[in-house]
Amino acid sequence: MKIKTLNKKSSTVIAAMLFLVLTANVSFKPDEGMYPLSEIRKLDLKAAGLKIDINEVYNPDGISLIDALVNVGGCTGSFVSKDGLIITNHHCSFGAVSRASTTEKNYLENGFKASTTEEEIPAQGMISKITVGYEDVSEQILEAANEAKNVSGRTDAIRKKIKEITKEAEEKQPGIVAEVSEMFSGQTYILFKYQIFKDVRLVYVPPRNIGEFGGESDNWVWPRHTGDFSFVRAYVAPDGSPAEYSKDNIPFKPKRYLKVNPNGVDEGDFIFILGYPGRTFRHQPSQFLMMQQNYSMPYIQNLYQWLIKLYEERGENDPEFALDFASRIKGLANTEKNYRGKLKGLHRLDLLDKKQKEEKELQKFIENDKQLKEKYGDVLGNIKMVYDEILQLGRVPLFLSQLMRHATSIRLAALLNDYREQFKLSESERPSIFKEDNRKELIKRIDDIYSFFYPELDKKIITKMLLDAASFPEGERLTKLEAFPLEDNTKNRIDENVDNMISNSVINNKEAYKALFEKSEEEIKDFNEPLLQFVAAIEAERKHLEEAGKEREGKLNLLLAEFMDAKKVWLNKAFIPDANGTLRLTYGYVRGYAPSDAVYFKPITTLGGVIEKGEETGDYKLNEKVKELFKKKNFGRFKNEKLNDVPVAILYNTDTSGGNSGSPILNAHGEIIGVNFDRAFEATINDFVWSEDYSRSIGVDIRYVLWVTQKVGGADFLLKEMGVKL
Ligand code: GLU
């Protein structure tokens, strides 16, 4: 056979072509966007690097990767075996693991492994769901909204219609749970149908010093060395219907599960992520940002820092308390650091100023056209008027909701007040928790609240929060609390009053408290005490705000729709809806970044890096087994030849948010090569604005997941279940 030799010129052309092919991905810029199901098929993912048909990713008429996606208690997970095995993050099962742990059997510290399905234990709180269908119901909702007599009625009309639609969908298709999600305020509403799993069990969870390696020091930070993964399993009743935990339940058989690719990815590779991002606020007006920047985030940050210190100090010499509060502290610290990142980002980018300027430009554009002026001329002014009222309230709504959330005694008193109040309501209006059939649920709720009841902590929390509120400026006052004796600005009195109020309450005697829920209307009517009165005043304040809030919500529902319309005309483009807890796709490339002057971060970390960071104690406490295995260079098949090490975490330029925790990172063939778990510090601002320059997401590399599971956990059977050949 004659082999044609290439002349110099043609080899240069080929080299140039090869260069183009090899660098095609690298120069391709992914868009900002968490694309909803309805948009996925409009994307040119092939051009971006996808090697499978789009129908394999999402196919409304057949089975696709979407069927392998699970919402795991607000996080994301994915099926990785035909027997309902789910991979998600360590931090997503953290609460369930700490609940299952005792100081003697501490699964949180030491990890958990079920060698057989019989050994799997309930993962409390990890109720899961998969999306089984969706339908646009905008027309029905907007028709109902437009029939409302006034703006405040608009909010009620929308809520009522949503209830009707979901009820009807659930009746039509028993076993599903229906939810209507607002995609664009006042414009688009989608009915999502979910199949629910109430019985989810822990399968394998690495020890805390792997799953949370780097702790809060490394949270929201790159470079990262955290083995943030865990395995759980979804169970259903023998007939396939959703069921609470029962020994008779069987593992769920998903329509589709992901293929695990133990070879991972390389720098520059195309990847995409499917998941359930929680909330973003990119389409909100500048005043929303102002509210966040000036009130909400600084208030929460201050409060959470204080609470973390309070709980940590309390747990210093009490391991049981420390274990009970571990998940709570982690959640507070996670939000606190996220807000710190966001506030830094807001100032760095001067985003508020940019948004305000953008709105001025939009106003100018509107005013330059007679028709537009007629239609949208007042929109921005009217939005401002609504927000002026909201800004006037400042921190008050937050104060009220946070007080309810963190002061356990307030929650106990509120439940009792609700019980007394329900007698005044008609049968249909009564909260179902007080119905005789739900007695067990009520007792469970009370027991749950009591498990966090520490009167001496509550006294400190309420005092701190009231003192903070007393320093709010004139406009931001708690009108209904004004008359209450606790609203005093001398520290001693507030201290004393709070102390007396809690010390003298029935809540200190759990049995006596529970017995009150057995009493009739007549018997309980005169039962009153300062704590109940105080909580009633708080509730009154909340109700009062809620009523006024409804009117504002109704107005904004209309105004934000017009605002988006005007922006569409101005920028001549369509928008992707903000994240709202529904299924989305985002794509990008494994890529490093340069977050500050003269600094460049590579996109892959290694086991060697874990050892380098490792210490004896604290956030970087090294796992003994990891240390030993590394010393022997026992990497098995998970070594990357180029790195001569096991890859641990990867960095990529996708558009993710909270809720994307646990999302599968998929390669061009739709195989799972990692699990998303975080963002870089600069990318915490993603919730307001995304940019290729600094928005980076972080995932644990599948090779580290498999290496830990096999070598540290000795759970070879899971690799076998996932079809990973060793
Ligand atoms: N680490 C994040 C969290 O715990 C989840 C992922 C993200 O927000 O990017 O909220």
Q: Are 297 and 402 in contact (CB under 8 A)?
A: no
Residue whose Cα lies nearest atom 6 of ligand 1: it is 678
CATH topology of domain 31-127+198-280+575-726: Thrombin, subunit H (2.40.10)
Predicted pLDDT of residue 496? 87
- Alpha helices (H) in 126-211, listed in sequence order: 138-147, 151-172, 208-211
Report how far apart, in Å, the C-alpha atoms of 216 and of each of 64, 117, 226, 393, 650 are.
Answer: 37, 33, 11, 33, 19
User: Among 335, 654, 661, 665, which is best to mutate for testing ligand 1, by the most ligand atoms less than 8 A from CB?
Assistant: 661
User: Among 93, 678, 685, which is best to mutate for testing ligand 1, by the most ligand atoms less than 8 A from CB?
Assistant: 678
pTM strictly above 0.85: yes
CA distance 315 to 497: 26
Express each pLDDT in 161-179 by its tens digit.
999 999 999 999 988 999 9
Express each pLDDT in 243-266 by its tens digit.
999 999 999 999 999 999 999 999
CA distance 43 to 2: 45
Q: How far is the CA of 684 from the centre of ligand 1 (A)?
A: 9
Predicted pLDDT of residue 91? 98
- Flag the least confident range among 24-33, 313-322, 381-390, 419-428: 24-33
Express each pLDDT in 554-600 by its tens digit.
999 999 999 999 999 999 998 999 999 999 999 999 999 999 999 99
Q: Are 546 and 480 in contact (CB under 8 A)?
A: no
Domain boundaries, the chain: 31-127+198-280+575-726, 406-572
The residue with tokens 């100090």 is 313
Predicted pLDDT of residue 30? 67
The mean pLDDT value for 40-55 works out to 94
**Is residue 478 scored above 60 in pLDDT?**
yes
Predicted pLDDT of residue 19? 41
- What are the backbone dihedrals phi and psi of residue 62, each rounded to the nearest 5 degrees, phi first? -155, -165
pLDDT classification of 475: cutoffs 50, 70, 90: confident
Q: Is the CB of 658 under 6 A from ligand 1?
A: yes
In this structure, are strands 199-205 and 112-113 parallel, antiparallel, or unpaired? antiparallel
User: Among 76, 88, 90, 91, which is best to mutate for testing ligand 1, by the most ligand atoms less than 8 A from CB?
Assistant: 91
Burial label for 19, CB within 10 Å (0-12, 13-18, 19+), is: exposed
**Is residue 404 scored above 60 in pLDDT?**
yes
Q: Is the CB of 678 under 6 A from ligand 1?
A: yes
The mean pLDDT value for 116-144 works out to 96
User: Among 338, 651, 675, 682, which is best to mutate for testing ligand 1, by the most ligand atoms less than 8 A from CB?
Assistant: 338
Predicted pLDDT of residue 631? 97
Q: Is the CB of 657 under 6 A from ligand 1?
A: yes
Q: How far is the CA of 657 from the centre of ligand 1 (A)?
A: 6
Residue whose Cα lies nearest atom 3 of ligand 1: it is 658
Residue whose Cα lies nearest atom 10 of ligand 1: it is 658
Express each pLDDT in 653-689 by its tens digit.
999 999 999 999 999 999 999 999 999 999 999 999 9
Q: How far is the CA of 75 from the centre of ligand 1 (A)?
A: 9
Q: Is the CB of 677 under 6 A from ligand 1?
A: yes
Express each pLDDT in 52-99 by its tens digit.
999 999 998 999 999 999 999 999 999 999 999 999 999 999 999 999
Q: How far is the CA of 273 from the centre of ligand 1 (A)?
A: 14
pLDDT classification of 16: cutoffs 50, 70, 90: very low
The mean pLDDT value for 372-387 works out to 98
Q: Is the CB of 101 under 6 A from ligand 1?
A: no
pLDDT classification of 22: cutoffs 50, 70, 90: very low
pLDDT classification of 436: cutoffs 50, 70, 90: confident
pLDDT classification of 1: cutoffs 50, 70, 90: very low
Q: Is the CB of 334 under 6 A from ligand 1?
A: yes
Q: How far is the CA of 679 from the centre of ligand 1 (A)?
A: 6
